[in-house]
Amino acid sequence: MHFVRRLMLMAGLIAALPLAAQGPVPAPVAKNDEAVAASRAKLAPAPIMLDANDLEAWLDGYLPYALERARIPGAVVVVVRGDRVLLEKGYGFSDVAKRKPVLPDATIFRPGSVSKLFTWTAVMQQVEAGRIDLDKDVNAYLDFTIPPFDGKPVTMRHIMTHTAGFEESVRHLIANDPKKLLPLGTYVKDFTPQRVYAPGTTPAYSNYATALAGYIVQRVSGEGFYDYIDNHIFKPLSMNHSTFRQPLPAKFVPMMSKGYPDITQQPGAFEYTFAPAGSLSATGTDMGKFMMAHLNDGAGLLKPETAKMMHDYSAPGIGPLNTMALGFYEQWINGRRAIAHGGDTQWFHSDLVLFPDDDIGVYISMNSPGNAGDSSAIRSALVLKFADRYLPGAGQPRQIDAKTARQHAELLVGHYVNSRGSFTNFLGLLDLLGQAKITLTEDGKIAFPALDGAGAGARDWVEIEPFVWRDANSGERLAAEVKDGKIVRFSLDPVSPFMIFLPAPAATNGAWLNPALITALGVTLLAAMGWPVRAIIRRRFGAKLAMEGKALSAFRLSRIFSWLVLVAVAGWIGLIVSFSADIGRLGGPLDWLIQLLRVLTPLAAAGLLATAGWNLLLSIKDKRRWTVKLGATLLLLAGFIFVWVTLAFHLYGFNMVY
């Protein structure tokens, strides 16, 4: 599933996403310009014949070293063409301690959000059966109500294109204890996230919306979700070593690969994820069967016209960037349209890419994020290099002149908010700490530092048409929408189907607020530590405190609240560290700490603001030294910053939907 694995749950999202490589994207050729077309065609490398022997030799030359370098214990790769398997092969170990090898037909991996393709396929089966209308208000299929937003209802088409408008939701998404998993109906009813966008307007990836789709399938079909997937997907395709069920059925337990932080560490516990969004467990062989079904017009699962509806749909997006099909996301690779889905649990990292026009499917799954999250780069490079070898593209794109390109790049520089984020609950704090940032290189090109470690190589963004940039190394594009001379949103090919970036509002822009928050923390720390230190010094030298009465009370109270603010900050840091190490702890074990912090934080911040203000007023009234007044002023400003952050990022309240 696409959720955090690192310190910043939302802030680290970009690096955790499946970044399917785009490959060189040829520029459009002017009609009747045969000379230009011919010259570009000459640039196309000759394709290598795709056969099992060459493919295996190529993979053997790439993947073992990549896994070893990244400290990833094992992986499985499957490549299919039409209705036959070209290659399925395991690399490395499924159990490091036992030196148990990965076997494509006998080792089970967790593909994470690739599971969603099975949920979307189930939805399309019900569309085909006439039980679901893609454009009907989903409340028609529910036993509770999803309120409209801006007067507009949510439809299944919105859900399947991640434009239903829900904010991020992570509570109960994953657990290490099956007892912590909620029934599907309970989850969708009791933990409905807030709607923050009008439906159909803003791509924002949603695990909750996928769970809602699974619940609708369950209701309209009359079968439990697990039973439905077993009966209507696994059985027709003879996917005999696959399940959505949790805990794993006993017969599958010996086949399950362990998941590792990296090959040098002990394996993690089995991850219990929310079923429709990411609970699939499957062998590589079975995933090959699923790919072949979709490549063959839905054979065994859907009618050809239904499969075509699912695969060929193109949701509105930003400029020329990739967009959503129905459930699949689009990827243009070497001028060829692919449909794909990636997936990440804490331990497993996967990608599935289909080239419908070439009848080719590629699947990779790894049992560790590896060193510094290198699994993202490995799978990105695998797809890119595979396409470069067997499906090469032709042509080189145009470039915008240097002066205009620099002007456009400068316009894009700034801080941005991820559309997939938390905007009405305390997890919004993580969005502040990890706001996306576009900077400018010395030669006037844009840089997106958050993506540097997630792709197949270094980034070199070249503007190829107004406000459309192309990475010269991967072929991925970044595009921005401009209105009245200002950037209103941007995205880039790997994530544009389900995520965009919006300019950070001035009031919560990390460009000023993060430095201000750090400064406020430093001032508060000095004030808090200075209180006992000066008391020790006065006692050592027998000095008398210059304050008394109200002035002394104000001083002491401001220091007490300074300490309370520091305790609250330490608590938030501890909370983030705890659930970053085990996201399942957000499903209940950390509730006490979350509730405590959301009471302590507003009290401490408001108390500091009030007592620091009182202390400053008395310092002015008593005509104390300028250094005392300056310190009191700085502490008052610090209190203001803490109150502002508390209110702006909802670090208060008792709502446990987040």
How does pLDDT run across 509-525, given as a tens digit for each residue? 999 999 999 999 999 99
8 within domain boundaries: no
The average confidence (pLDDT) of the chain is 89
Stretch (H or E) spanning 389: helix 375-390
| 514 and 381 within one domain | no
Residue 20 has pLDDT above 60, yes or no: no
27: domain range?
20-390
548 within domain boundaries: yes
Model confidence at 391, pLDDT cuts 50, 70, 90, reads: very high
How does pLDDT run across 527-561, given as a tens digit for each residue? 999 888 877 877 887 777 777 789 889 999 999 99
DSSP helix/strand/coil, 282: strand
How does pLDDT run across 456-482, given as a tens digit for each residue? 567 899 999 999 999 988 888 999 999
C-alpha separations of 524 from 306, 317, 560 in Å? 62, 45, 11
C-alpha separations of 81 from 112, 291, 357, 461 in Å? 24, 9, 11, 33
Of the candidate ranges 13-22, 148-157, 160-169, 227-236, the one whose mean pLDDT is the lowest = 13-22
How does pLDDT run across 417-461, given as a tens digit for each residue? 999 999 999 988 888 888 899 999 988 899 988 776 666 567 899
| 30 and 176 within one domain | yes
| 202 and 53 within one domain | yes
349 versus 43: which is more confidently predicted? 349
Cβ-proximal residues to 390 (8 Å cutoff; 6+ apart), any chain:
47, 48, 50, 55, 360
499 versus 8: which is more confidently predicted? 499
Domain count, the chain: 2
CB 575 within 8 A of CB 594: yes
| 208 and 81 within one domain | yes
643 within domain boundaries: yes
CA atoms within 13 A on the CB side of 302: 27
- The two most distant CA atoms of the chain are separated, in Å, by 95
Number of residues in the chain = 658
548 versus 615: which is more confidently predicted? 615
Q: What is the Cα 199 distance to its own chain's centre?
A: 20
Q: What is the DSSP letter of 20?
A: -
Retrieve residue 427's tokens: 């997890």
CA distance 342 to 365: 10
444 within domain boundaries: no
How does pLDDT run across 46-104, given as a tens digit for each residue? 778 999 999 999 999 999 999 999 999 999 999 999 999 999 999 999 999 999 999 99
CB 299 within 8 A of CB 127: no
DSSP helix/strand/coil, 131: coil
Residue that has been written with the tokens 């409340």 in this structure = 139
Domain ends where: 343, 373, 390? 390
427 within domain boundaries: no
468 within domain boundaries: no
Domain ends where: 333, 359, 390? 390
SS3 letters across 532-562: HHHHHHHHHHCCCCCCCHHHHHHHHHHHHHH
How does pLDDT run across 300-317, given as a tens digit for each residue? 999 999 999 999 999 999
Return the CATH number at 24: 3.40.710.10
The sheet carrying 336-344 orders its strands as: 100-101, 84-95, 74-81, 360-366, 349-355, 336-344, 329-333
Domain ends where: 346, 364, 390? 390
11 within domain boundaries: no
DSSP code string of 287-347: HHHHHHHHHTTTTTTS-HHHHHHHHH-----STTS--B-SSSEEEEETTEEEEEEEEE-SS
